[in-house]
Every structure is written in structure tokens, then in C-alpha cells.
Copies of this chain bind each other. A is one copy, B any other.
Amino acid sequence: MKSRDATRRSFLGTGALAGAAWTACSAPEAEAPAEPDQPSSLGTPVSRYGQRSPHEKAARGVRESQTPEAASSRTPLDQTYGIITPSALHFERHHAGVPEIDPATHKLLVHGLVDRPMAFSVDDIKRLPSVSRVHFVECSGNSGGEWSPAGAPTVALSHGLASCSEWTGVPLRILLEEAGIQPEAKWILAEGADACLMQRSATLEKALEEGIVAYGQNGEAIRPEQGYPMRLILPGWEGNTNVKWLRRIKLTAGPQYVKDETSKYTELMEDGTAWIFTFEMDAKSVITAPSGGHMVDGPGFLEISGLAWSGRGKIRQAEVSTDAGQTWTEAELQTPVYSKAFTRFRLPWAWDGSETVLLSRCRDETGYLQPGRAELIEQRGRKSAYHCNRIKGWHIAADGSVTSAEV
């Protein structure tokens, strides 16, 4: 493995910034660039609620569908920066569309194996102790196309059913303890206020340790598509267990095997058995820049950047290969590294203009290393569409065009 310092030295040594890509920069010998013209008119006044520049076009990927209420939209991960996903671009996966909910009348019912069934209004919940935590949410069907050798052509299509936000809300433990947890309670059933009453079972242990009833997202009220006025956050667990538009939590003795966890979100193994309640999302990484659909504008210095995350804790290490997996170099991680959150990795690189394949892989704090496709299939077979976390490659052609690398 090359050290990062060696890469940096070679970047600085090559004077890559004065290379072919830097057509806008004057070489030392050339005439100095002119000062820009002075703007000639006043700009627009201050305003009450800002919008992005009309020059910015990043959008969630939406497929044509006969049932756009039971559909998904994908975060354009290659057009985001840092670790926060803009709320407007947070991926969606709905089963019955986005309900319109009045926060003044919405209630969260906590019942089942409790001493005192309680219904909490939004205002009730906002008076309670709160926490803010940065966590990813990922659909367990994310990267389903990566089971194939070809993989999806863009990072939005391959990994865009994952996003990361600062969530603010009340620890679920507080609500459950206020209602009084009975000794037989071992699981919860969470239910959303969408028309299909989306439901999932989860363990009481997870609910007590890490569950959050979130009403804030990236500093403002949670967005309608992400569960307004409140959603469940079970950090690191399958997106669908992070029930949106949360209206009911029932304490139960065991899992409920509801439609949303038996008709979907189970994994068929090669021997015909099925895995169910595979809650934790496995460690995964992907290079977002450059990525499929991009055109690298000539050789020279180029920062390789991407995202890594794990449902089991912090990312410990992200590595990048610029030679189709022959050698790997450790990338720098954006700090602080949060547990169960997007972790941005970055590696300086000088592209020599020849065809190659870029890969990334990550290791989480449990020591688990993201597998290649063959290794993943060896473990899990080919009958399931869920939980695909194999290494993804991007092919760069000599003309700079970037496509999914077949593996």
C-alpha cells in the first residue's frame, strides 16, 4: 500500500496544477490575468427564506412509474459535498405517497405492553429532552443493481437510496419509560401514518439504546418526504425500520411478521431458507467523484472523493485503488467520524490520461471489510435483491469518460 504522504509528494512534485487541465491559469511566462470587470448594478435584496442558485440543477433521480406514490427517488450523491445530504435531495422510498399531516393534531400513540398507554402531541414531544445525531438512512434495496457484473451506470442509480442528516428529536427510551415498560415486552411495532400504515417490528433493545423520535432534520423541521412531523430513527438499521410519519409504537412480546417484513425486506438464500430481520446495514463505500456519467476534463491533478458508512459503527478506514485493484491507498477521512453516518473520504491523485479503473473499499470499527462481488455472492448467493454492499468500480477511458466498471 502506498502511503498518503507519498501520493501528496508526487502531486506537489509534478506541478499538476500547471498542467493541461489548467487552461484558465496563466503559466509563469504568460501575461498576468486581468482583474475581473466590476459589477454594474445592485443585487437582489435580503429575503425571508432562501433558494438555491438557478444555475444549480441537482435533482433526485425519479423513474417514470405507473405508481409514483409507491416508488423511490435517488440522491445524486456525486452532486453533494461533505457528509450532510441537503434535505431537498434526501432519497425517498414510499409505499403510499407522502401524507399531508397537520402537526397541530398529529399524535404518537405508545401502547401495548406498557403500564400507561399514552398519546403524545408534537408539542408534548418538543418539551422533552432532545438529542441531535448525524446518521445515514439507507434503503435495504440500495445498490440492488450491483448484484450484476455491470452494475448501475451512475452513483445515483447505484448508491442513491442512502442519505445522511443531522436528526433532532427525543430519545425513544424516554417515551417508553414514561409509558412504563412491562417485563414481557421484548419488541416494538412501529407504524406510519401513510395510507398503507407502513409497519415494522424492531427489538426493544435497539429502541431503548439508540431509538430517536425525530422532528428535526438538518436544523429545520423534518421534511414531508422524510416523515413530517416525526419519524423513527434506528441508527444503522434498514431504512424501512426508520418508520416515517410515526403515529404508533406498540410494545410486544415478539416480532409481528407484518406484511412489510414478510412480503418484502427478507433475503432468500441459495438453500431456499430466508433471512428475516436483517436489520443492520453492512459497511459500504463508493467513489462519488469522479463517477459514472462524469467526464474528466483532461489529465492532471484530480481529487478522488467518496462516501463510506456502516450500520455497525464508525468507519475506521477507506482505501482507494486507481489501478483496478492491484494496489490500494488509504484515503483521508473527514473528521470527526460519526458512528453510523456518512464518512467522506478523499485522496489526491494525478491522472496520467490512460485508461484505468477506480475502486474503493472500507473497513468499519468491527474490523469488517467491504467485500468484492464474488465474495459477497459466496456468502449470500444470488437470490436476494437486498443488502448488496460489494465494491464498486468506475472505468475511466482515455477520453476522460467515466462508466461503471464490469466485475
> A81: which B residues are within 8 A, CB to CB?
130, 132, 166, 168, 215-217, 219-220
Contact status A89-B49, CB under 8 Å: yes
Flag whether A327 is at the interface (Cβ < 8 A).
no
Interface contact B97-A71, CB-CB below 8 Å: no
A84 lies within 8 A of B84 (CB): yes
Known: A81-B132, A98-B43, A218-B86. A48 touches B25 (CB 8 A): no
**Within the assembled complex, what's the spacing in Å between the Cα atoms of A393 and B215?**
27
Interface membership of chain A positions 330-354, coded 1 if the CB is closer than 8 angstroms to chain B and 0 otherwise? 0000101010000010101000000
A277 to chain B, nearest CB (A): 25
* Interface pair B220/A166, CB less than 8 Å apart: no
A346 with B220, Cβ < 8 A, contacts A41-B195, A98-B43, A225-B47 known: no
Closest to A114 in B: B32
CB distance from A291 to the nearest CB of B (A): 14
Q: CA A47 – CA B44 in complex, angstroms?
A: 29
- Whether A372 is near chain B, meaning CB under 8 Å from some CB there, is no
Answer yes or no: A111 CB below 8 A from chain B CBs. yes
Q: A32-B117, A89-B50, A117-B26 are in contact. Are A195 and B83 (CB under 8 A)?
A: no
Residue of B nearest to A43 (CB): B97
Q: Which residue of B lies closest to A131 (CB)?
A: B334
Complex: A18 Cα to B120 Cα, angstroms: 11
Shortest Cβ distance from A68 into B: residue: B45
Q: Is the CB of A50 within 8 A of B224?
A: yes
Q: Does A116 contact B (CB under 8 A)?
A: yes
A72-96 CB contact bits vs B (8 Å, 1 = yes)? Answer: 1100000111111111111010101
Q: Which of A52-60, A146-154, A359-367, A382-390 contacts B (4 or more CB under 8 A)?
A: A52-60
- Closest B residue to A298 by CB, please name it: B127
Measured in the bound complex, the distance between the Cα atoms of B52 and A338 in whole Å is: 26
Residues B82 and A301 in contact, CB atoms below 8 Å apart: no
Interface centre among A50, A86, A132, A197, by most chain B C-beta atoms within 10 angstroms, is A50
A52 / chain B contacts, CB cutoff of 8 Å: 87, 220-221, 223-224
One complex includes copies of this chain to the number of 2
- Give the Cβ gap from A23 to chain B, nearest Cβ, in Å: 9
> Looking at chain A's contact residues, is the secondary structure mostly helix, strand, loop, or mixed?
loop
Report the separation of the CA atoms of residues A60 and B73 in the bound assembly, to the nearest whole angstrom.
30
Q: Is A100 an interface residue (CB 8 A)?
A: yes
Docked pose: A94 CA to B121 CA in angstroms: 40
Q: Is A374 an interface residue (CB 8 A)?
A: no
Stretch of A102-110, A181-189, A202-210, A258-266 contacting B (4+ beta carbons < 8 Å): A102-110
List residues of chain B with CB within 8 A of the CB of A43. Answer: 69, 94, 96-100, 194-195
Query: In the complex, are the beta carbons of A26 and B80 less than 8 A apart?
Result: no
**Residue of A53, A111, A248, A300 most packed against chain B (CB within 10 A):** A53
Bound complex: CA A52 to CA B18 (Å): 44
Contacts of A45 in B (CB 8 A): 68-69, 71, 97-98
A36 at the interface (CB under 8 A from B): yes
B33, B69, B178, B215: the one contacting A109 at CB < 8 Å is B33
Q: Confirm or deny: A328 has a beta carbon within 8 angstroms of a beta carbon on chain B.
A: no
Q: Give Cα A101 to B96, complex, Å.
A: 41
The contact string, 1 if C-beta is below 8 Å from chain B, for chain A 17-49, is 110011011111000110110111111111111
Contacts of A68 in B (CB 8 A): 45-46
Residues of chain B contacted by A83 (CB below 8 angstroms): 132, 166, 219
Q: Which 3 A-B pairs have the closest CB atoms?
A: A43-B97, A81-B216, A45-B68
Q: Beyond the given A36-B248, A131-B334, please list 8 additional residue pairs across the A-B interface where CB-CB is below 8 A.
A: A32-B117, A48-B73, A80-B220, A81-B166, A81-B217, A123-B297, A128-B301, A128-B303
